[in-house]
Amino acid sequence: MMIGTPLFLFSLWKIFVPGPEVSAAYLLFWSAALYLGFTLIDLPHKAWGAEISTDYDERTRITSWREAIATAGQVALLAGLVWLAADGIEAASTQLHVIAIAVVFILPLLLGLCVFFVQERPPEYYVHPHRSIWAGLAIVARNPAFLRMLGCVLLFVSGVAVQGTLHRLVLADVMLDEGRFSLMILLENVGTLVAVPAWLALSVRLGKHRALMGAALWLAVWSLPLVFLREGDANLLTAIIVIRGSSFASILFIANSIAADVIDVDTLESGEQRSGLFFAVWGMAIKLALALGVVLATVLPSLAGYLPSEVAIPLQIQGRLMLIYGALPALLMALGALFLFRFPITKARHDEVRYKLDALAKQSRSE
């Protein structure tokens, strides 16, 4: 994380505050550097969160705080953009400059708090046979719970990405109120932040996989009314987006908490604690899902006859666009929820796994 932060900040500045001469090669290079720096921060941060506690419900509390704070950061960013626009600062270059300054000053402070004040648990060691990288990956591939989580997260994130990509286009070409975009996204993030404690309580009461299914189906059900909205319904659209989005952060923090439990099952089988490997695969799946969502949100409207460059979008084309905007994410979320039906890692199963791991750790220390 300490290595990735300087690279991330420098790359961010080069992209948000570029010089007078910028080429496609410049953008490609610094975008790649930005993503590399972010990965160096994000991957160990997520793996670290999985290792702070081994308790089934405590992990969910940890991930819920992490996502809540991340959402609060997004709320602060969006509120800042709304404030800048209200103050007459609407130029994108100026707004990006302000964002870059804020990130450059705040991120090192937060990293320092994390690195110097959050204690790490002693590493767990288990006696295990030496195996090659491919043999280790074969064990990952045999982990049905992890494969299920990859499947559901791929569909969940794709569904959210479809709507995220189309928000502004729907406001501009169907609602005819593009100026509402920043406020709508701000309210959506506030809604998901406020709802975090409720979803955390449901996770503790019902179990993680049931709460995750509920969060996904909540988003699916509230996406369906979007299909029927048209010009003049901007207020109703905003209200539905806020209600629907109230489960968004819960999908992320519950899924990350379940991933940590899945890693324990792998540790029991392999004898190795491989959080980094699992969260690397997890991160690649999320990036793939985001890319898939963007592709679906751009290719499908185009095939349906939607052209953003047109001055007025015909009503028939608007209907097709709203079908993609509302029904497709609902379908993806519902299909993703099926992966969690009768999920094998419950609280009782996880307690059993942890009991065996603790016994193995004691045995390994005595040898």
Does the pLDDT of residue 273 top 90, yes or no? no
Above 90 in pLDDT, residue 340? yes
Contacts of 107 (CB under 8 A, 6+ apart): 5, 8, 9
Q: Which of the residue ranges 22-36, 47-61, 187-201 would you say has the lowest mean pLDDT?
A: 47-61
User: How many other CB atoms are there within 10 angstroms of residue 122's CB atom?
Assistant: 7
Greater model confidence, 142 or 109: 109
User: Once rounded to an integer, what is the mean pLDDT over residues 107-122?
Assistant: 86
Q: Where are the domains of the chain?
A: 4-115+144-354
More confident residue, 134 or 164: 164
Q: What is the assigned CATH class of domain 4-115+144-354?
A: mainly alpha
Mean pLDDT of 248-265: 89
What is the model's pLDDT at position 124?
67
At 87, give phi and psi (nearest 5°): -90, 5
For residue 125, the model assigns a pLDDT of 66
User: Which range has the worst mean pLDDT, 144-148, 208-212, 220-224?
Assistant: 144-148
Q: d(Cα 366, Cα 209) in Å, to the nearest integer?
A: 36
| pLDDT band at residue 111 under the 50/70/90 scheme | very high
Is the pLDDT confidence value at 363 over 80?
no
**pLDDT of 350 above 70:** yes
Averaged over 291-315, what is the pLDDT? 92
Integer Cα distance of 169 and 298 in angstroms: 11
Span 282-296, average pLDDT: 91
Is the pLDDT at 138 greater than 80? The verdict is: no
Tell me the whole-structure pTM to 2 decimals: 0.86
Mean pLDDT of 311-334: 94
| Most confident stretch, 17-26, 54-63, 236-245, 251-260 | 236-245
Which position has the higher pLDDT, 171 or 78? Answer: 171
- pLDDT grade for 123, boundaries at 50, 70 and 90: low
Average pLDDT value for residue range 64-84: 86
Find which of 27-31, 182-186, 277-281 is predicted with most confidence, using mean pLDDT: 27-31
Cα(299)–Cα(318) distance, rounded to whole angstroms?
A: 15
H helix intervals, the chain: 4-16, 24-52, 56-86, 92-117, 133-141, 144-173, 181-206, 208-223, 234-244, 248-270, 275-303, 315-338, 347-366
φ, ψ dihedrals at 231, nearest 5°: -50, 135
